[in-house]
Amino acid sequence: MNNKYVSSIKIFRPEIIKKAKKHNLDPALIAAIVIVESSGNPWAIRVEPAFWRRYGNNYHKIIEPSHPARVWLKYPDVFACSYGLMQIMFGVAVEHGCRVSFPTELLKPDINLEFGCRILSKKIQRKQDLTKGVLSYNGGGNPHYPDKVFRFMHQIDKENIF
């Protein structure tokens, strides 16, 4: 495995273990998703242009008026970005109970890993299948996404990082 990936995973190892255990997930799976999504870069931000086409204005209905995230609906590109290690969509984090005031708070590894694990765990439970849950975590658009994650997971297991 690329030393860059190993180094980035080792930096976040304690937090990955903590959040994975809390949500009954394999730390190697979380680390693999971190590698695939952000290459281990906690500062990664990506605008997701298809977000509004796919979800329309539903977020105006989902987010209650008192939620601190509501103000960010005025800024579509900020709201429809993926943030941090696990590339968490701000709107999706809000749907799963995130109450941060600023989307960039999802760049904090502890917050990002918490909501990434929470979202992934719910997707796996809902699908009742690991592969389908991992595919759903990524939005389902790339049928090869789970294979890529599982390849990294296997390499992580081989290197005994966890």
State yes or no: pLDDT of 34 exceeds 80. yes
- In the chain, what are the domain boundaries? 3-158
How crowded is residue 32: how many other Cβ atoms within 10 Å of its Cβ? 24
The pLDDT of residue 56 is: 66
Report the SS3 class of residue 145: helix
* Residue 19 in this model has a pLDDT that exceeds 90: yes
What are the tens digits of pLDDT across the range 109-161?
A: 999 999 999 999 999 999 999 999 999 998 878 999 999 999 999 999 999 99
Q: Can you give the pLDDT at residue 119?
A: 97
Nearest to 89 by CA among 66, 120, 60, 61: 120
- Region 3-158: CATH code: 1.10.530.10
- Can you point out the beta strands (E) in the chain? 45-47, 81-83, 88-89
DSSP 81: E
pLDDT value of position 152: 95
**Contact (CB, 8 A) for 81 and 47:** yes
54/158 Cα distance (integer angstroms): 38
Are 120 and 97 in contact by the 8 Å Cβ rule? The answer is: no
Quick check: helix, strand or coil at residue 129?
coil
Task: Read off the pLDDT of residues 38-91 as tens digits, 9 standing for 90 and up.
Answer: 999 999 999 887 777 777 667 777 778 888 878 888 887 787 889 999 999 888
